[in-house]
Amino acid sequence: DPNVSPYEMIGGEQTVRQLVKAFYARVRVHPDLFPIFPGDWKETERKQYLFLTQFLGGPPLFSQEFGHPMLRVRHMPFPVTPKRAEAWLSCMRQAMDDIKLEGEIRDYVWERLVQTAHHMINTEEEAE
């Protein structure tokens, strides 16, 4: 059904909450990732919940609170290297495993996240 959003197909609010929780549980302990985060994990997780809801075609929660996502601009204060993009994606893949998100909808969500993660790269590896 083309009228059913990816958000609904994965299971809506409950699934998005589970996914971001499982994701940051991994980011928080990933040696390449945790040092560049501000450390307010509750707020980071909340923003990602608002964003992913909107990204997957659910209610526009992120924009209601923060305006246009401009995701690449919002990442400029943080050095996102190719290595960190791969680390981010590996945490997300494992989070999808953790919550048992499977099937075609997983593949669809994954492809969009891979594209977005690569788009966020703003720093060369050697500039570290």
Return d(Cα 54, Cα 49) in angstroms, integer: 9
CB 60 to ligand HEM: min, Å: 13
CB 51 to ligand HEM: min, Å: 3
Nearer to ligand HEM, 18 or 44 (CB): 44
| Footprint of ligand HEM (CB under 6 A) | 33, 36-38, 43-44, 47-48, 51, 55, 66, 71, 74-75, 78, 80, 84-85, 88, 113, 116-117, 120
103-118: b (≥16 Cβ within 10 Å) or e: eebbeebeeebeeebe
